[in-house]
Amino acid sequence: MRIGELAERAGVSTRALRHYEELGLLPAARSANGYRRYDEEHLRALVEIRTLVGLGLSLEETRPFVECLRAGHPTGGSCADSIAVYRSKLAEVDASLARLGAVRAELAGQLERAVRARCEFTLEET
């Protein structure tokens, strides 16, 4: 299939596909007239990339998953390098959740102190 068809089937722009090709994530074969040619494996890799990006991975972080698919594995996440990326990303998410938990606790404390101070101030006015 040509680039426009792949873009339409995957729901992405042709510009994005060219960008993925520049990064080496989605190399295309070329026909005699120079047009890019894609097949179902490209679509599969593209779906994998878009899914992972949707989970917060960078395009570079998707590389091991795409390489795993290219190596013939049934899923992009079944290779050691992909599992390492999953572990790393999960650790990042856990750290972010811990930071957010600390921020939430601080905000809740600030709110509680502010409400208490307002109530005390209101009582003093009367």
pLDDT score at 122? 72
Question: What is the number of structural domains in the chain?
Answer: 1
* CA pair distance 77, 94, nearest whole angstrom: 20
Domain that holds residue 9: 3-125
Decide which of 126 and 103 is more confident.
103
pLDDT score at 125? 67
**Do the Cβ atoms of 43 and 10 come closer than 8 Å?**
yes
The torsion angles phi and psi of 71, rounded to 5 degrees, stand at -75, 0
Q: What is the CATH number of the domain that holds 24?
A: 1.10.1660.10
pLDDT score at 126? 59
pLDDT score at 109? 97
pLDDT tens for each residue of 5-35:
999 999 999 999 999 999 999 998 898 998 8
pLDDT tens for each residue of 82-119:
999 999 999 999 999 999 999 999 999 999 999 988 88
